[in-house]
A and B are shown apart, each in its own frame.
Chain A
Amino acid sequence: MTAASKQHASTKESNYLTAGYGVRSWLLTVDHKRIALLYLISLTTFFSVGGLFAVLIRLELLTPQGDLFQSETYNKLFTMHGIFMVFFFLVPSIPAVLGNFFLPLMIGARDVAFPKLNLLSWYVYAAGGLVTLFAMFAGGVDTGWTFYAPYSSTYANSHVILAALGIFITGFSSILTGVNFIATTHRMRAPGLTWMRLPLFVWANYATSLIMVLGTPVIAVTILLVAIERLLHVGIFDPALGGDPILFQHLFWFYSHPAVYIMILPGMGVMSEIVACFTRKRIFGYKIVAMSSLAIAILGFLVWGHHMFVSGQSMYAGFVFSLLSMLVAVPSAIKVFNWTATMYRGSITFATPMLYALGFIGLFTIGGLTGIFLAAMALDIHVHDTYFVVAHFHYVMVGGMVMAYLGGLHFYWPKMFGRMYHEGLAKVAAVMIFIGFNLTFFPQFLLGYLGMPRRYHVYDEDFQVLNVLSTAGASVLGLGFALPICYLIFSLKFGKKVGDNPWDAAGLEWTISSPPYEHNFHEIPEVTEEAYDYGKREAARV
């Protein structure tokens, strides 16, 4: 009798959802799975807040005149949209929800290395979020999510310090999660689970954790310096006091470019899991895909100057950063090529998670390639601060990261709750999101190339047709996002019950019950094979 079937035998036993009831059992839990659900709820809330701001932005941009909002209000709208989406949704999303839930399961552990620290990181995150929400209700911020000096220092007239304080606090949640994941991956792997047998999702989260730990302190210091300059008038960024505003951009992007990889790397990890499962094949070039995660984590730190080609940085620095930015595209491209090669001659099934994975490959490729356009200094001078940039990073963040997040959520939902969502509705939503997304953001590439600057609510009449298309797309996209929220919640009560491994997927997380028991594994499993051993599974089927 194998360990897996032994665990089958006692499905009546209480799982992590039924192990305790009441608010206390949730708010004081140290179970990584419950903490993941706490994150899921709070992240969805912040995603909705950020989305609401996006709706208002797209409504204003329906017409070339500024008829809905004044320019100051509009500045606040796009700033709050950016802040909530970047710091409170994209950065934590996959690590905090899917990572927290599945990292221990995938390595055969009963929890993360520091369960109490894990709960603390959620409280820190929630506290930071509440402070920033308070800043929003108190009147908001208008500096742009980047808080550039001197908008945020000398000339700020909104709640900069309060909003920045929220981000400062939330940063510690990132650091705690990063430390936890690094220690967990090093110390908690099941016997036999060597580094080269780890699922690629674990590799991706490990690389992400390195960035979180090495990068986040710098943004914290930067925010602190802004506060010191504003409150104590020490010259750091203000030239009149002997400071340099461009120093802010150096410090800010030292974290915030790598933060792009904090957002996309875990998504790439989810991609590898989904593509392997729905093509029934081992990931092509496993080792190089794993190593490219580390390469991205390291190289990603050396490219930040590509945000500063036209802001006064020296020509030489621009040249260095341009070259390095092109280099970091290589490991990302390796991953895309390897997923495509994995699909080659695989027996592909188009279940909902796979639809999102296919969407990811197409959209991330467009987002990545336009990133190379922007890394080329001469072209960047033309399209800098236009809608071309806006379209580029939405293709990476929404087309890449959000696609992977939704794909992962649909892939793991039956494991998390033991019930399946409505597959037909899920497919409709996936297609709506894909179409809505492209209709929203592809016109923005054209707008940017034609010269429409970002961050203005009044624009030339020639740009209206493309803007109307974009707003139309956004409404399809919005409905597409609302749909999963409805049918996923519905499935919790009414979804069809599923077995432990509805996708017939490889990996330790699929050997335990759905939903998992409170302590995951009755016996710590012993791993004897490499990850994604679909070849053997398929052979056994015949």
Chain B
Amino acid sequence: MSTEHHVTPLRVYFTVFALLLGLTFLTWWVATIDLGAWNTTIAISVAMTKVMLVVLWFMHVKYSNKLIWFFAAAGVYWLVLLFGFVMTDYLTRLPVTGWGG
């Protein structure tokens, strides 16, 4: 527990904040160009990057002990469970062939 009283310099917070603003701008800018399926992929990747920034620096997980890392990882894992099991439905639906078809 030696890292419990870690103090992050303000400079780090402002850098992360600037990065978040930049990424928000990136999301908006990408949405204005038509990239087909890549639009969604990029939007989600950018969002994930922002999540990591917030979790690691703003929420201090970077400087926390293993138990905190374990709980943070559990949160991510649960999200994977949600998406994964929803996909067992969406990826295996039979195409609709019309009433009585």
Contact = CB atoms under 8 A, between A and B. Distances in A.
Contacts of B75: 214
A182 B68 CA distance: 12
Given A186-B67, A214-B75, A317 B88 contact: yes
Interface stretch (A150-158, A308-316, A515-523, A530-538): A308-316
A261 to B, nearest CB: 14
B92 interface: yes
A171 interface: no
Interface string A173-217: 000000000100010000000000000000000000000001000
A316 B74 contact: no
Interface stretch (B15-23, B30-38, B77-85): B77-85
Interface string B45-89: 000000000000000000000010001001100100110011011
A320 B88 contact: yes
Contacts, number: 39
Contacts of B90: 314
B93 interface: yes
Contact of A313 (B67, B71, B82, B89): B89
B10 interface: no
Contact of B89 (A182, A214, A218, A314): A314
A207 to B, nearest CB: 13
Contacts of A308: 89
Q: Which 6 A-B pairs have the closest CB atoms?
A: A317-B89, A316-B92, A314-B92, A314-B93, A317-B88, A313-B89
Given A214-B74, A214-B75, A315 B92 contact: yes
A313 B94 CA distance: 10
B94 A301 contact: no
Interface in A272-324: 301-302, 304-305, 308, 313-317, 320-321
A304 B81 CA distance: 12
A250 interface: yes
A317 B92 contact: yes
Contacts of A218: 82
A254 B80 CA distance: 12
Contacts of B82: 218, 254
A308 B71 CA distance: 30
Contacts of A320: 85, 88
Nearest to A244: B90
Nearest to B85: A302
A492 interface: no
Given A308-B89, A314-B93, 5 more contacts: A214-B75, A305-B88, A317-B88, A317-B89, A317-B92
A498 interface: no
Interface string A309-349: 00001111100110000000000000000000000000000
Nearest to B86: A250
Contacts of A247: 86
Contacts of B88: 305, 314, 316-317, 320
B89 A301 contact: no
Contacts of A169: none
Interface string A29-65: 0000000000000000000000000000000000000
A246 B93 CA distance: 12
Contacts of A316: 88-89, 92
A305 B89 contact: yes
A519 to B, nearest CB: 25
A250 B90 CA distance: 11
B74 A250 contact: no
A301 B67 contact: no
Interface string A214-249: 100010000000000000000000000000001100
A305 B93 CA distance: 14
Nearest to A217: B75
Contacts of A254: 82
Contacts of A313: 89
Nearest to B81: A301
B8 to A, nearest CB: 21
Nearest to A250: B86
A301 B86 CA distance: 12
Interface string A413-453: 00000000000000000000000000000000000000000
Contacts of A305: 85, 88-89
Nearest to A304: B85
B71 to A, nearest CB: 8
6 contacts: A214-B74, A301-B81, A305-B85, A314-B92, A314-B94, A317-B85
A315 B86 CA distance: 13
Given A186-B67, A250-B86, A301 B78 contact: yes
A250 B89 contact: yes
B48 to A, nearest CB: 16
Contacts of A246: 89
A315 B94 CA distance: 9
A186 B66 CA distance: 13
Contacts of B92: 314-317
B78 A214 contact: yes
A422 B39 CA distance: 69
Contacts of A304: 85
A214 B82 CA distance: 11
A304 B67 CA distance: 28
Contacts of B74: 214
A315 B82 CA distance: 18
Contacts of A314: 88-90, 92-94
Contacts of B93: 314
Interface in A461-517: none
